[in-house]
Amino acid sequence: MMLSGVHRETLVPVALYAELVADEEVLPAFVTSISEHGLLLDALAILGNRRGDQLQVQLTLPGEPDPLWIGAEVVRDTHGSLFNDTAIRFTAMANAHWRSLRRWVRVRELVLATQPIGVHDAA
- The boundaries of the domain holding residue 108 are 3-114
Q: Is residue 39 part of a domain?
A: yes
Q: Is 24 helix (H, G, I), strand (E, B) or coil?
A: coil
Contact 112, 120 (CB under 8 A): yes
pLDDT in tens, the chain (123 residues): 444 444 456 789 999 999 988 888 888 888 989 999 999 888 765 666 667 788 899 999 998 889 999 999 988 767 665 566 788 999 999 999 999 999 999 999 888 888 666 555 555
Q: Is residue 35 part of a domain?
A: yes
Task: Kindly write down the DSSP assignment for every residue of 54-88, as one continuous string.
Answer: EEEEEE--TT-SS-EEEEEEEEEEE--SSEEEEEE
Number of domains in the chain: 1
- pTM summary value: 0.77
